[in-house]
Amino acid sequence: MPKNKDAVYYSDYLKLDTLLAAQQPHSPKYGAEAHDEMLFIIVHQVYELWFKQVLHELRAIHADFSKPQLDDKALYLVAHRLRRVLTIQDLMNDQVAVIETMTPQEFLEFRDYLVPASGFQSIQFKELEIRLGLTRKTRIAFDQQSFYNRLNDHDRSYLEELEQQPTLFDCVDAWLARMPFLEFKDFKFWDMYQKAVNEALDHDEAIIRENAVDDDQLATELKGIQANRDNFAALFDNDRYKVLQENDAVRLSQRAMLSALFITQYREEPAFNLAWQVITSLAEVDEKLTIWRYKHAMMVQRMLGTKIGTGGSSGHDYLRRTTEQNRVFKDFFAMSTYLLPKSALPILPERVREALGFSSLSALEKGHGAT
């Protein structure tokens, strides 16, 4: 690395003059300064900085996934960067406690000066959602409106253009779908797997029948088991799978779903470990974002009660509903329904393990040394 030419001064490098001059409360324009407005501004700005870093990581991950091939080195970097995103998300979730030190009354001292600005207009947050894969079809609208109505033309066209690009979800789907290990010629893995899952569901059904308190509870729980059986059967039937997709019961393509299931079942195998880490981390990104939505919604309820938001939504009620609806990688969570304990998994024959790239392990086991 070449040596730097000019001496660097801490505050110049970090542009602290600009950064620290950017906290400008509005309350003094109307009377005495509301003490807590400074906290409100700084907390939002800190979030926007973390959004910026998260987007920096996600754009790089997205670019890697957009390539036709993703080798192990690139996949390692993706997993590494996703772990960084998750660590930042933990921080963002904990940070809700800081804004909660402001009481609702303290907030009322300056709230009216903010109208009609709103978190809806956080373009970085909306980019984060869109880049991950939240679409107009999947996201919840507030009072039949779109947050797009609240944006200026520049921001609206930036996000609308982004919506036209394949999302990270689309790229991950394509990556999983092109994995080559779903057909094994004469080894009927998926037949064995279906049999094992059906046995596990039979076992669950027997437990439900033994423990049901009354007929209503029994009927509800049996309905749940039947839905699981139907969804599982549909994984292996093109037409039924399409119906699940049309009904928004699943979003991943059928091939991607089976790959994800296979990887998750055999995650300890070296060839699948990185892919499994990536799948799990994406599910965690979704989970931690949902936790943020929930914490933000609870904080908003404390601050506003049932008042509407400055952006015109129903406030807490809208935000609470986003925690259920605005999810991207739901399929990775639903997949757990069909996971089997290691002991119940079909054992992969040696030739299949070798074909899947577990041969270094096989060689070690045979005493031939690692490759």
Dihedral, 209, 228, 289, 60 alpha carbons, nearest 10: 150
Surface-to-core class of residue 279, CB atoms within 10 Å of its CB (0-12 exposed, 13-18 middle, 19+ buried): buried
145 forms bridges with which residues in the sheet? 142
SS3 167: coil
Of the CA atoms within 13 Å of residue 88, those in its CB half-sphere come to 20
Q: From the list 65, 120, 262, 276, which residue makes contact with ligand HEM (rule: CB under 6 A)? A: 120
Cα separation values, 165 from 66, 194, 242, Å = 11, 36, 23
Residues 147-176 that bind ligand HEM (CB under 6 A): 147
Site membership for ligand HEM, residue 297 (CB under 6 A): no
For the bound state, the minimum distance from the C-beta of residue 311 to ligand HEM, rounded and expressed in Å, comes to 3
For the bound state, the minimum distance from the C-beta of residue 116 to ligand HEM, rounded and expressed in Å, comes to 8
43 annotated ligand-binding residue: yes
Rank residues 44 and 267 by Cβ distance to ligand HEM and give the closer one.
Answer: 44
**What residue spans of 142-253 are helical by DSSP H?**
153-163, 168-177, 189-211, 215-234, 238-246
Surface-to-core class of residue 286, CB atoms within 10 Å of its CB (0-12 exposed, 13-18 middle, 19+ buried): buried
Task: Give backbone dihedrals phi and psi of 210, rounded to 5 degrees, phi first.
Answer: -70, -35
40 annotated ligand-binding residue: yes
Site membership for ligand HEM, residue 303 (CB under 6 A): yes
Q: Are 39 and 110 in contact (CB under 8 A)?
A: no
308 annotated ligand-binding residue: no
For the bound state, the minimum distance from the C-beta of residue 131 to ligand HEM, rounded and expressed in Å, comes to 14
Q: Are 278 and 62 in contact (CB under 8 A)?
A: no
DSSP 296-325: HHHHHHHHHTTPPPTTSS-THHHHHHHHHH
Interacting span for ligand HEM (CB under 6 A) from 43-51, 81-89, 332-340, 348-356: 43-51
Helix axes 270-304, 123-132, angle to 10 degrees: 140
- Amino acid sitting at position 219: A
Q: From the list 201, 304, 340, 363, which residue makes contact with ligand HEM (rule: CB under 6 A)? A: 304
42 annotated ligand-binding residue: yes
Q: From the list 38, 42, 43, 225, which residue makes contact with ligand HEM (rule: CB under 6 A)? A: 43
Neighbours of 9 (CB within 10 A): 9
Q: From the list 25, 33, 44, 190, which residue makes contact with ligand HEM (rule: CB under 6 A)? A: 44
For the bound state, the minimum distance from the C-beta of residue 24 to ligand HEM, rounded and expressed in Å, comes to 17
Q: From the list 89, 277, 322, 323, which residue makes contact with ligand HEM (rule: CB under 6 A)? A: 322
Site membership for ligand HEM, residue 315 (CB under 6 A): yes
110 annotated ligand-binding residue: no
Site membership for ligand HEM, residue 125 (CB under 6 A): yes
Site membership for ligand HEM, residue 133 (CB under 6 A): no
41 annotated ligand-binding residue: yes
Rank residues 107 and 193 by Cβ distance to ligand HEM and give the closer one.
Answer: 107
Interacting span for ligand HEM (CB under 6 A) from 116-124, 263-271, 278-286, 337-345: 116-124
For the bound state, the minimum distance from the C-beta of residue 95 to ligand HEM, rounded and expressed in Å, comes to 8
Site membership for ligand HEM, residue 291 (CB under 6 A): no
For the bound state, the minimum distance from the C-beta of residue 111 to ligand HEM, rounded and expressed in Å, comes to 7
142 forms bridges with which residues in the sheet? 145
Residues that constitute the known binding site: 40-44, 111, 296, 310
Binding site for ligand HEM (CB under 6 A): 43-44, 47, 99, 107, 118-120, 122, 125, 147, 296, 300, 303-304, 309-313, 315, 318-319, 322
Residues that constitute the known binding site for heme: 296
